[in-house]
Structure 1
Amino acid sequence: MRKFSLDALARELLRRAADSPNGRAAETVYGGHEHVLRQTVIALTAGNRLAEHHSPGEATLFVLRGRVRLGAGEVRWDGMHGDLLVIPPQRHTLDALEDSAVVLTVGKPQRESHADE
């Protein structure tokens, strides 16, 4: 079993984001390419954004700190500490309205096994 302090990680990533030229920092706390589930803490300083990008599949954002705005096309959803935002299955952006940290959770479809039976 592993245990993480997401609050401590959010503080550390916000410090790193403040020192970064693009105002962001991230660290995957669980999963990766070999797993179906991936959870990544992302920190953005106020006024910075993740530019429009494709949806990673089924995904949510849990706001640990600050306020963010998730946008897809003409639709916008604001989230603050404690909110869970469902990421739409289309291109979207994420803006930090304040210094913010979120947990991005992505569930990728499993590849079918083609092993002989």
Structure 2
Amino acid sequence: MQKKSLTALVRHHLNHARDASSGRSAETVYGGHAHVLRQTLIALRAGQHLGEHDNLAEATVQVLEGRVVLTSDGASWSGWRGDLITMPPGRNSLEAVEDAVILLTVAKLIAPAAS
């Protein structure tokens, strides 16, 4: 079992994003390439974007701090602290309307085993 304080990680990464020239900071808090489930904490300074990308798996965005807007195929959803947004399949982007931290959870697709 592993335990992490999301509150401490939010504080740490938001401070780092505010100081970073990129305006962002991120850490995989669970999973990775060898796992089906991956959870990544992402901090963004206000006005920063996660550029458009294809979402081929099941994914959610949990807003831990601040406010974001998720855009997909011309539609958009606002998320505030405490909101959970299910990402639709297709091309998505995310903008921090104010300094924000999200927990991006992705369940990667697994190719069927060869017979």
Q: Give the TM-score normalised by the residue count of structure 1.
A: 0.93
Q: Within 5 A, what are the aligned runs for 1:66-105?
A: 66-105=66-105
Q: CA deviation at 1:110?
A: 2.3
CA distance in 2, matches of 1:67, 1:40: 17
Q: Match for residue 14 of structure 2?
A: 14
* Structure 1 stretches of 4+ moved >3 Å: none
- Return the index of the structure with the highest Cα Rg: 1
Deviations 1:28-73 (CA, angstroms, capped at 9, x unpaired) = 0000000000000000011111111111511000000000000012
CA distance in 2, matches of 1:23, 1:113: 41
Alpha carbons 1:56, 1:106 under 8 Å: kept: no
Structure 1: which 5+ residue stretches go unaligned?
Answer: none
Q: How many equivalent residue pairs?
A: 115
Q: Match for residue 37 of structure 2?
A: 37
CA distance in 1, matches of 2:22, 2:89: 26
Structure 2: which 5+ residue stretches go unaligned?
Answer: none
Considering fraction of residues, name the structure with more strand.
2
